[in-house]
Amino acid sequence: MKRTPARLADGREIIYFDLADDATRRLDDPRELPQVSTASQMRYDPLLGEWVAMASHRQTRTFLPPADLCPLCPSRDGKQTEVPSPDYDVVVFENRFPSLSMAAADTPPGSELVPVRAGTGRCEVVCFSSRHDASFATLSQAQARLVVDAWADRTSELSALPGVEQVFCFENRGEEIGVTLSHPHGQIYAYPYVTPRSARMLENARRYQDTSGGHLFADILAEERAGERVIVASQHWTAFVPAAARWPVEVHLYPNRQVPDIPALTGEERDDFVAVYLDVLRRFDALYDAPLPYIAAWHQAPVHAGRELGYLHMQLFSIRRAADKLKYLAGSESAMGAFITDVLPEDVADRLRRAEVRS
């Protein structure tokens, strides 16, 4: 892998990741760009004990442009985009409309009940391919492995930034999910705190360890591997529908060896993940013979607190509950956080196993 860093016209960092060691990329950005907003702030919700990011400048971000004006495509034919080079394999750059910024301006401290602080952190965009019509499921194994290596690189780099407590790599796919750019891409958030879901999982893992002496994630994996909800099992990875799945289609992918984050995966484990993940994604698309909207979320251990309890895994889920129906978070889910699912996980697992995958 060749790694080539540069700067965009407004000072944001951009990094090219290439399969070929002799790849050359255009590094200068000829555009004239306004300064990136640093007005993000965070406010503490005392009722839930959670931080909420406020980023009002994101209201003006690019929304579903036509393909010929896509800002994630390479710069070609006189059209300058976020990627100055006329081609690339995988590219990562700082988001032009970040929810969090390492340069976030100081803000009034709020009150004792509702503290307010600068929205420090970092938000990056990861373009999986220069092809606008591609998707992660259509990537070659080599290209997908390059994405994994880029995730690992960025996790290590972002974890070393001052104040960063958790790094989150994810992909939103499909307009039904709320995607505003159709080019195949994902994002990475470097948070200045441990996110609520991660904090709750780690709290449960610690309680489980104290009462049983076991490791919660490892014991869940062992039980699932012995059951009927496994979709794909390989030497290094297991993909299964969790017993208490909340979403109409939900699969978790676990390495068979406990590791805290993506950088800790060996080369063999990364290769094996790619094979299993591409298989699962293609099964997703085969369910209704059409691209399935999904969120792919990497759960990595926090940078500092509770790291020994973490267990790297991916949560992959879709809001599509039938070919022509979506799962909406209505009263019980949105207001109470109490999920009600319309399908049994065992049935979903069986359908995914039987899905006819096209290579």
Question: 252: annotated binding-site residue?
Answer: no
Question: 123: annotated binding-site residue?
Answer: no
Question: 70: annotated binding-site residue?
Answer: yes
- Kind and range of the H or E run holding 210: helix 196-212
Phi then psi for residue 166, to 5 deg, are -155, 140
185 is known as an active-site residue: yes
Please state, as a whole number, how many other Cβ atoms lie within 10 Å of the Cβ of residue 178. 9
d(CA 112, CA 316): 38
Please give the structure tokens belonging to residue 54.
Answer: 């406020």
d(CA 176, CA 322): 13
C-beta of residue 198 within 8 angstroms of C-beta of residue 321: no
DSSP-derived 3-state class of residue 92: strand
Counting every residue written for the chain, the total comes to: 359
Distances (CA, A) of 13 to 34, 160, 244, 304: 15, 16, 41, 25
One-letter amino acid of 272? D
d(CA 91, CA 153): 12
Question: 215: annotated binding-site residue?
Answer: no
Given the residues 57, 185, 236, 252, select the one marked as catalytic. Answer: 185
Known binding residues: 70, 73, 132, 183
Q: Catalytic residue numbers?
A: 185
Known binding residues for Zn(2+): 70, 73, 132, 183
